[in-house]
Chains A and B, each alone.
Chain A
């Protein structure tokens, strides 16, 4: 991660996005699609009408939170690849509060969101605890926890929560829903919900926590150099666990938002949604800063939601966007832009002398 801070992160991000979109165009050109028409359809179809804009914001909402989740773990030197699983258990927890508890409106929603966040935090605690106490690589535990969460939710939905004869649970009541009329009306009755407010608040919380508090200083110090942090009297183990718990909490809020705002129910899932994995790309592209995460999430929201219109108008299969996302991760992680800029500078220097 330290590579990212050395040079302008915005330049890195823009060059990587540009190169990745070229890769995407090549993939389209080779298959005989028109890349210009496709990209145009992608942006027009996600930003130009109130309804589409609302849906783009809805798609962006969980990406901000999963991006923050991955970013805060990265800052402490941890790789939370378990966001996907943390989201699933949060959805389960929020659903249970939604359909099993009877609470007045607003309070019901707040409790459901918080319980979701806490469920995600618990799911994040386990790899954090094992890393801190047993020295086990958190990446492996997180991957395992993802699958356990997926099967756990399926077994509960199938055997306990689903309505007779269906593969899905009943819908949560209005009182627990994150959807509010004024937002939906503002965006031409799209499914945009209060989750976006939660996401933006959390980005602000992360900024204050990491850069304005002593605890945040400790978290970052552990990320920079755990041995030095330990020597300076910082409790490294406690900070590792704390970082994974906060990360899991953010992931949990993403799950809660998806359940209480977007879907309203759970169904048996054959595979992961991928929103958690996208969080890795969002955090990388956003250089692990809150504002960067918000912007990167917006880009991914546009790409994901816009890909539907791209298929509709230019017939390009929406999976093309996965290729573009993969290329973005690749270029940022391998610091291709740094290598390119380095080469340009060298040439310039050679010319001058």
Chain B
């Protein structure tokens, strides 16, 4: 029983990690007023770059940093189109997803003449925190986790501090709620939104890297498989709040853990694994239809900023 609990908790933590990271990415972009449907593509690019850089350098930490840079680079056209050219943000997000998946699979086929990268031998392995990792159940799952999990926890706390306790964060949120008022107060809406979208690229790409050099050990076209969209759902389910999104992402990770371990713990006899996979999406719809409404979303979300217009 203890073993089973430990096992479920471990899997939950592992599978929530990329969702948490990508959701934090989405948080920055959306709080500044830019819809980010492109999380999926940013994660795909992160996963791809992390895998190939880790393979060629033999150092997964370099892979992680390269993924972050790639995420920022891919987020740049998103920012230019959505902010400077005032394009429809959802449409641009769709284009980013197309581009990331197309380009990464194209390059994988070009580089390795196969549908997937070779196996990454040196991954970012779990790190045990001395002492704490000996706590029963909690220890092996939280204090003997992938470095990505520690990064994710730090990112959540930092995101909270940055968004709610610093001038920068206050400005970023102001730009997402009332851009014209913010502009009048001397804040550059354009600069804030660019910064937010680029941060979102870096964070979502780390989430993607987690999939290819920690949870998995290769990149193929099914590596991300919709997790960017689950992260987006977690962000909304968590009411665009760092800790809310953390909770939602963990819960969705739990659903993934159950669907993966259904066979092992005998759950699949009663509930097909697909039903568990469906759960995050059904819950998000129910949540949106009942308690999370339009009222919680940043009020300027999705609206391009036109100087001087009302």
Q: Do A and B actually bind?
A: yes
A residues lining the B interface (CB < 8 Å): 1, 27, 31, 79, 81, 126, 130, 134-137, 139-141, 143-145, 147-148, 151-152, 154-155, 158-159, 270-271, 277, 280-281, 284, 317, 319-323, 325-327, 329-330, 333-336, 339
* 11 chain-A/chain-B pairs, Cβ below 8 angstroms: A140-B284, A145-B285, A148-B282, A155-B275, A270-B222, A320-B102, A326-B95, A326-B98, A329-B91, A330-B81, A333-B91
Known: A79-B90, A317-B106, A334-B92. 17 other contacts (CB 8 A): A31-B106, A143-B229, A144-B233, A144-B284, A144-B285, A147-B226, A148-B282, A271-B221, A284-B91, A326-B96, A329-B95, A333-B88, A333-B91, A334-B80, A334-B87, A335-B85, A336-B85
Q: Assess A270 versus B225: contact at CB under 8 Å? Given A141-B288, A155-B275.
A: yes
Q: Which of A79, A130, A151, A325 contacts B274 (CB 8 A)?
A: A151
Please indicate the chain A residues that have their CB under 8 angstroms from the CB of B94 in the complex: 81, 277, 280, 329
Q: Which residue of B lies closest to A325 (CB)?
A: B98
In contact, B222 and A271 (Cβ under 8 angstroms): yes
Q: Which of A81, A140, A277 contacts B98 (CB 8 A)?
A: A277
Top 4 closest pairs, chain A to chain B, by CB: A322-B102, A326-B98, A326-B99, A155-B274
Please indicate the chain A residues that have their CB under 8 angstroms from the CB of B277 in the complex: 147, 151
In contact, A319 and B288 (Cβ under 8 angstroms): no
Q: Assess A140 versus B289: contact at CB under 8 Å? Given A155-B272, A155-B274, A319-B106.
A: no
Indicate whether B294 reaches chain A with its CB closer than 8 angstroms: yes
In the assembly, what is the distance between CA of A329 and CA of B277, in Å? Answer: 31
Interface residues of B in 101-115 (CB under 8 A from A): 101-103, 105-107, 109-110
Q: Which residue of B lies closest to A136 (CB)?
A: B288
In the assembly, what is the distance between CA of A155 and CA of B277, in Å? Answer: 10
Indicate whether B248 reaches chain A with its CB closer than 8 angstroms: no
Indicate whether B155 reaches chain A with its CB closer than 8 angstroms: no
Indicate whether B69 reaches chain A with its CB closer than 8 angstroms: no
Please indicate the chain A residues that have their CB under 8 angstroms from the CB of B236 in the complex: 140
Please indicate the chain B residues that have their CB under 8 angstroms from the CB of A79 in the complex: 88, 90-91
In contact, A322 and B285 (Cβ under 8 angstroms): no
Please indicate the chain B residues that have their CB under 8 angstroms from the CB of A31 in the complex: 106-107, 110
How many residues of chain B are within 8 Å of chain A by beta carbon? 47
Please indicate the chain A residues that have their CB under 8 angstroms from the CB of B221 in the complex: 271
Indicate whether B293 reaches chain A with its CB closer than 8 angstroms: yes
In the assembly, what is the distance between CA of A139 and CA of B294, in Å? Answer: 13
In contact, B37 and A325 (Cβ under 8 angstroms): no
In contact, B99 and A134 (Cβ under 8 angstroms): no
Please indicate the chain B residues that have their CB under 8 angstroms from the CB of A135 in the complex: 293-294
Please indicate the chain B residues that have their CB under 8 angstroms from the CB of A140 in the complex: 232-233, 236, 284, 288
Please indicate the chain B residues that have their CB under 8 angstroms from the CB of A130 in the complex: 285, 288-289
In the assembly, what is the distance between CA of A143 and CA of B235, in Å? Answer: 14
Q: Which of A141, A323, A333 contacts B106 (CB 8 A)?
A: A323
Indicate whether B297 reaches chain A with its CB closer than 8 angstroms: yes
In contact, A320 and B106 (Cβ under 8 angstroms): yes
Indicate whether B281 reaches chain A with its CB closer than 8 angstroms: yes
Interface of B, helix, strand, loop or mixed by DSSP: helix
In the assembly, what is the distance between CA of A256 and CA of B226, in Å? Answer: 24
Please indicate the chain B residues that have their CB under 8 angstroms from the CB of A151 in the complex: 274-275, 277-278
B292 to chain A, nearest CB (A): 8
In the assembly, what is the distance between CA of A79 and CA of B92, in Å? Answer: 13
In contact, A136 and B99 (Cβ under 8 angstroms): no
B residues lining the A interface (CB < 8 Å): 35, 37, 77, 80-81, 85, 87-88, 90-92, 94-99, 101-103, 105-107, 109-110, 221-222, 225-226, 229, 232-233, 236, 272, 274-275, 277-278, 281-282, 284-285, 288-289, 293-294, 297
B259 to chain A, nearest CB (A): 10
A320 to chain B, nearest CB (A): 5
A167 to chain B, nearest CB (A): 13
In the assembly, what is the distance between CA of A79 and CA of B89, in Å? Answer: 11
In contact, A148 and B87 (Cβ under 8 angstroms): no
B7 to chain A, nearest CB (A): 24
Q: Which of B102, B225, B232 contacts A319 (CB 8 A)?
A: B102
Please indicate the chain B residues that have their CB under 8 angstroms from the CB of A322 in the complex: 98-99, 101-103, 105-106
Q: Assess A158 versus B85: contact at CB under 8 Å? Given A139-B37, A148-B282.
A: no
Q: Assess A148 versus B106: contact at CB under 8 Å? Given A130-B288, A136-B289, A280-B94.
A: no
In contact, B225 and A339 (Cβ under 8 angstroms): no
B49 to chain A, nearest CB (A): 16
Please indicate the chain B residues that have their CB under 8 angstroms from the CB of A1 in the complex: 88
Q: Which of A126, A136, A280, A339 contacts B91 (CB 8 A)?
A: A280
In contact, B293 and A326 (Cβ under 8 angstroms): no
Please indicate the chain B residues that have their CB under 8 angstroms from the CB of A280 in the complex: 91, 94
A75 to chain B, nearest CB (A): 14
In contact, A139 and B95 (Cβ under 8 angstroms): no
In the assembly, what is the distance between CA of A333 and CA of B95, in Å? Answer: 9
In contact, A148 and B222 (Cβ under 8 angstroms): no
Please indicate the chain A residues that have their CB under 8 angstroms from the CB of B297 in the complex: 137
Q: Assess A147 versus B281: contact at CB under 8 Å? Given A317-B110, A319-B109.
A: yes
In the assembly, what is the distance between CA of A139 and CA of B236, in Å? Answer: 12
In the assembly, what is the distance between CA of A333 and CA of B35, in Å? Answer: 15
In contact, A147 and B289 (Cβ under 8 angstroms): no
In the assembly, what is the distance between CA of A270 and CA of B223, in Å? Answer: 11
In the assembly, what is the distance between CA of A270 and CA of B293, in Å? Answer: 32
Please indicate the chain B residues that have their CB under 8 angstroms from the CB of A147 in the complex: 226, 229, 277-278, 281
Please indicate the chain B residues that have their CB under 8 angstroms from the CB of A277 in the complex: 94, 97-98
In contact, A317 and B105 (Cβ under 8 angstroms): yes
Please indicate the chain A residues that have their CB under 8 angstroms from the CB of B77 in the complex: 330
Q: Which residue of A lies closest to B229 (CB)?
A: A143
In contact, A339 and B85 (Cβ under 8 angstroms): yes
